[in-house]
Structure 1
């Protein structure tokens, strides 16, 4: 693999090239602690302890101490010998006595390698800051109506592993998803990782045992009937109209779909196996095909060395997709670019449903990734598991992955990193919801919810799109400036006909925002 192409997971620091100095290398396994970015304080706080590459450097993990807001809170004496390639423990701590709000959590790990006792805070990486995690202890759940279910549409697990990165196990992801109150999450590991041999990421296996093992683990975890559903998927490398590689999320497909153009596994061969059109023709059953992070800027090095490119407007307009994952994490500039892309497609007459994910590769609280291969890591909070969510309306709690996808296809969707927003429209006595088409409208109902975690509602905007004029305009707006409002409902009289192509809504709160899917106005 061309190092540094996709440095988004927990950082792998033991891979070395001959005659090349690796500043990150240590003669001990990677030790990483992680916690969710939020948790109900009435529940337990899960702390993930991950020990990677202990088969190279067997390590005795002696204890884990937890400090909250600078004060020692608890200690777990573990005294276990880590000697497998992957070693995971989840420790549970009762934090109910703490007040609601943000808290700093520091994790001290005491361990023994080669007869020497050592200590690290948060992780044992070189060049990271080892600072405390910030976690919100919530007094109540994030706001939503009872018939909406919350999920992350783009995440990666330990089935994504190579020379510079690795993720957390499916079981650890399921526990963290439960902690942050997700009802489902889509695991979309890279197609060029799922075709590897089970124990050797440098070797491909045409029988796809890794993909088969991934499918089996998902079914096993889902069969237990408790906790969030796991939606199995792939992030497939495909060719766009310019024969550059872009990424397409394929969810709940019964067969493996190869894609390795940007894997870096084949020197001087960077053409993905299939074009977008060819991939879409292979989709079977109720699987979904959703372009991944189409507004993300492609770094120059990826363009040069592995033929990565952007999703072009022609790609997005020409083909039928089930949705568009234009929100990819919590970086404000990325969210803004994604929303602008979706709006431009709507105004060109494209009817495409919105989706949000975080592209988290582990990273339940903050990202620790390769900045410069062999030299330096970096940390940030842009791609944290569960921060941006896709809320889908279902008549009852989904019991298997296909139910989630079938509800998504109906389009009653909103994307949020905090507050809740729903619009419905009326034509006489008939009511229409997001994702539906109405011949004309005489009124629109807006319903919004917030709480102390999201902050009070500050603004709600109702937009109308006019594709024939290539413009959107505000048709109703409510600003909340003088009081703290956490719940709002109003029916607004509006006369809209087919000259208006669609309506949609956005909400801002003190600490978050949300947007709805469209209601289209057409026969």
Structure 2
């Protein structure tokens, strides 16, 4: 009997270890889920998370966020929220965020407060923001800095106050194509509400973002980890929030979307971004909602793509070549997009720039180029997979065991720049994403247009015919992202299936950080042209990739 118990304990320990190393998370850390009673990060208090944007423009108010989650299980009295701002020259300014009452009782599942602070003068430069919250629970007083999550730095936030707006060109608008709201809530992570993301986005310099909550969370009852909700209340709630935001903020667009778990050619779970689909698409294969033994995809990629097309939407593969490793495949049946998946009819392209420091970026870039050289109209999309995460990521490294911090998936760091000729709108951004009228950047911008010998002009994502072409390049950067060091113009020969640099432009220094070039090409074979631009500032390199234009 003792041996049986020891064997069971050993088996349980092995299973727990395998489970821990198999799940990746990106969002605010969920600490209250326990695996068979085991957790080293669980605390008898709600998650209290403070946040601020990673950049703002000089002279603009700075939004400060406080999120309290699971206070329905662990009620608290919030006494104060304080922001202490330290400038590069050592000046310190302290702000108290006003609360609805002196000792605010919070007993809700998800509570948040967003307010603004303003520096007394038009400061520009690095700003260190120390956010403190003081609360009591069962008579015990607690003061936290940044959050109350165990094992993290609790260090001040770093916000860059820029003297310039993000580099701009008329008719183009910045956004984030991959964001998770508070309707993404599960065993390891949760996000922040739509209204919060709009306010943070506006401060950062964005004009739109897409709400891409997990399919395996959207059919779960609110406040639950596993209980199914046949009414899809989370899905309905997020549609209402998106609708309300678009009615409230006329200078901002919030896109309805979904991150769908579906089956690849090997029947492994992968993720797909479904845009502009009016109905919920089921996908629970890798959500561990039915136990580790039930992990088969609900639908295949092909089935989901057909459903999206029938509903009038469009799709991109989400972080297509980032899997969860061997254990993720074994326990969650997770995989990645293979060639057979990427060429399926109905996919607009690849969202392979997923966060600033993507380890698979170079490999995915090569995959994208190979697809282009085969003549496929595969567009590039960029996003961050942020779940809140407006300044730093605080998420689960190993479930129930260790938390971590990083800056890999910060909202708005990787930006998709979309052309909307008639101004910002949901329909305008959808049209740009669907047709590839976009570039992706984490710093400078470089816009490509082509004019043929008849005077016709076309933007990225389009095609044009003729014999002689003028390639018109408009580029811009700022002191924040540094001078543009080079712009590589690539030409992909669709007959010989080779891509080479047609020309490299090295801009001279400019007070405005804006540059214009014209390059002539004489038609020989069907081809495409695209741009890659690079800048650097403070020891960091920034880059910009354009979608192609096809010369036929």
The TM-score range, normalised by the shorter chain, is over 0.9
Aligned to 1:248: 272
SS of structure 1 residue aligned to 2:353: strand
Q: Which residue of 2 aligns with 1:270?
A: 295
Cα offsets for 1:350-379 (capped at 9, x unmatched): 111111110001101110011122221110
Residue 420, structure 1, aligned to residue 420, structure 2: no
**1:442 equivalent in alignment to 2:442:** no
Q: Deviations over 1:297-325 (max 9, x none)?
A: 43222111111111001111232312321
Comparing 65-74 with 468-477, greater Cα deviation is found at: 65-74
1:398-434 Cα shifts (integer Å, max 9, x gaps): 33x2332123333321111121111112221222221
Give SS of 2:225's match: strand
Q: How does 1:382-397 map to 2 (within 5 A)?
A: 382-397=408-423
Does structure 1 conserve the Cα–Cα contact (< 8 Å) formed by 2:314 and 2:346?
A: no
The answer as to 2:81 corresponding to 1:64 is yes
Structure 1 residues 96 and 145: CA distance shift in structure 2, 3 A: farther
Structure 2: distance between partners of 1:183 and 1:104: 26
The SS at the match of 1:168 is coil
> Partners in 2 of 1:19 and 1:517 — Cα distance?
49
Report the Cα offset of residue 335 of structure 1.
3.2
Alpha carbons 1:366, 1:381 under 8 Å: kept: yes
Change (3 A) 1:425 1:287: same
Q: CA deviation at 1:480?
A: 4.4
Of 473, 487, 490, 2:517 maps to: 490
2: CA distance, partners of 1:418 / 1:18: 45
Q: Distance in 2 between matches of 1:337 and 1:483?
A: 34
Question: Which residue is 1:48 aligned to?
Answer: 65
After superposition, the Cα gap between the structure-2 partners of 1:484 and 1:337, relative to the gap in structure 1 and judged at 3 Å, is: farther
1:282-361 equivalence runs, <5 A: 282-283=307-308, 284-331=310-357, 333-361=359-387
Q: Distance in 2 between matches of 1:461 and 1:325?
A: 21
Secondary structure of 2:432's aligned partner = helix
1:12 is aligned, of 17, 25, 30, to 30
SS in 2 for 1:24: coil
Q: Measure the CA separation in 2 of the matches of 1:332 and 1:359.
A: 11
Q: Hey, what does 2:192 align to over in structure 1?
A: 168
Contact 2:76 2:136 in 1 (8 A): yes
- How far residue 244 of structure 1 moved from its aligned partner, in angstroms, is 1.1
Instruction: Give the 3-state SS of the residue equivalent to 1:130 in structure 2.
Output: coil
Q: Which runs of 5+ in 2 are unaligned?
A: 1-15
Indicate which of 102, 106, 113 corresponds to 2:126.
102
Question: How far did residue 285 of structure 1 move?
Answer: 4.4
The match for 1:75 is: 96
CA gap of 1:109–1:265, structure 2 versus 1, over 3 A, is: same
CA distance in 2, matches of 1:5, 1:163: 10
Shift of 1:336: 2.6
- Report the alpha carbon displacement of residue 156 of structure 1 after superposing the two structures with TM: 0.5
Q: 1-side partners of 2:37 and 2:361: how far apart?
A: 42
Contact 1:329 1:335 in 2 (8 A): no
Displacement of 1:232 in angstroms is 1.2
Residue 234 of structure 2: aligned partner? 210
Give the aligned CA root-mean-square deviation in angstroms: 2.0
For structure 1, list consecutive stretches of 5 or more residues without a partner in the other structure. none
1:457 alignment counterpart: 484
3-state secondary structure, aligned to 1:468: coil
Check if 1:514 corresponds to 2:541: no
Bigger Cα displacement from structure 2, 1-10 vs 504-513:
1-10
Distance verdict in 2 for CA 1:365–1:110, change over 3 Å: same
Q: Distance in 1 between matches of 2:115 and 2:360?
A: 34
Instruction: Give the CA deviation at 1:163.
Output: 2.0
Match of 1:477 in 2: 504
How far the C-alpha of 1:280 sits from its partner, in A, is: 1.6
State how far apart, in whole Å, the 2-side matches of 1:136 and 1:233 are.
Answer: 30
Superposition deviation, residue 178 in structure 1: 1.4
How far apart, in 2, do the equivalents of 1:55 and 1:501 lie? 60
Superposed, 1:26-37 pairs within 5 Å as 26-37=43-54
TM-score of the superposed pair, with normalisation by structure 2: 0.90
What's 2:304 paired with?
279
Q: Which residue does the alignment assign to 2:433?
A: 408
2:10 match: none
Structure 1 residues 216 and 264, CA gap change in structure 2 (3 angstroms): same
Does the 8 Å CA contact 2:507/2:515 hold for their aligned counterparts? no
* Contact 2:226–2:290 (8 Å) recurs in 1: no
Alpha-carbon distance change, 118 to 361 in structure 1, aligned in 2, over 3 angstroms:
same
Select between 206-215 and 129-138 the one with higher mean Cα deviation: 206-215
2:183 matches 1:159? yes
Post-superposition offset of 1:76? 2.9
SS of the residue corresponding to residue 65 of structure 1 reads strand
Distance, in Å, in 2 between the alignment partners of 1:495 and 1:216 is 52
Measure, in 2, the Cα distance between the counterparts of 1:395 and 1:121: 44
Give the paired residue count. 519
CA deviation map 1:444-496 (0-9, x unaligned) = 11110111112111111100012333321111112247777711102122223
